[in-house]
Amino acid sequence: MSDILRIASSELSSRFFVGTGKFSDKSLIGDVIRASEAQVVTVAVRRVDIESSDENVLSHVPQGTIVMPNTSGARTAEEAVRIARLAQATGNGNWIKVEVIQDNVYLLPDTIETLKATEILAQEGFIVLPYVTPDLSIARRLVDAGAAAVMPLGAPIGSNRGVRTKELIQILVDEISIPIIVDAGIGAPSHAAMCMEMGCDAVLVNTALAAAEDPVMMASAFRDAVRAGRNAYLAGIPSQALRATASSPLTGFLHDAH
C-alpha cells in the first residue's frame, strides 16, 4: 500500500525532513541525508555561500532532494519575504520555510509577522511552510492565507525536550486540512515516532542529528522511528482503558473443574 505525503504538487514517500544547520563537519550532511532517506531538507539562506563550495551547504545536498530554504534570522515579515525572494533568485526553487523570530531568549516564533509573510509569499507562488506555535486560530488563518503545510513547534528550538505541546498539536491534526509537520524540540527517535502515532504528517529534525555522537546512525534511527510511528497510526492504535482487560479467558482453569 502506497502512503504518499502530498505538499502542493509534490508527492513524497518520506515523512522525515532534515535540517542542515549545526553540523560541526559539513561533509557529514550528505551522508546524513542519504541515511535518513529524506526527500526534503531545509537550509538557512544565510548559510549558503555560493562563492565557496566548501562553505556552501547546498554542495553537500544530494541531487534530487527538495531544498526548502528557511528565513532564519528574519525578525519581521518584510525581512522574511526579502530572504525568500533572494533564495528563489539564486535558484533554490519556490519552497520556503517561513521563520520569523524576535524573541532572543526562547526563540519562539512571531505568529503575526509569520502570517503576514505567508500571505505575501503564497500570493507570489511560493510553497510556504510556516513555523509557528501550535495555535488553532493561527493555523486556520495560515490555511486561508495559502500555506502548504503548518509546522508547529514541539518544544523550543534546539532544546531536544520532545513534544511538550502534544495536546495542542493533536488539535491541529484533528482540525486542520493541510499537512502538520512537527518542527523544533524533537530530540530522540521516540519523540518522532510519537508524533507519527498521533497522526502528524511528518517531522523535521536538525539538532538531534547534528549533536549526536554518530549523526549518520542517528539519521537511520530517526528514519526507522518515523516509519514505525506512521505504520502504527495507519494500523489503528487501540484506545486506552482505565481498567484491565484480560487477553486470555479467565474461565476454564484446572481448579474450575472441581
Q: Please identify every residue annotated as catalytic.
A: 97
C-beta separation of 168 from 203 below 8 A: no
Beta-carbon contacts of residue 209 (< 8 Å; ≥ 6 apart): 18, 19, 32, 36, 215, 218, 219, 222
Burial class (CB in 10 A: 0-12, 13-18, 19+), 159: middle
Beta-carbon contacts of residue 254 (< 8 Å; ≥ 6 apart): none
Burial readout 191-201 (b: 16 or more C-beta within 10 A, e: otherwise): bbbbbbbbbbb
Specify the 3-state DSSP secondary structure of 79. Answer: helix
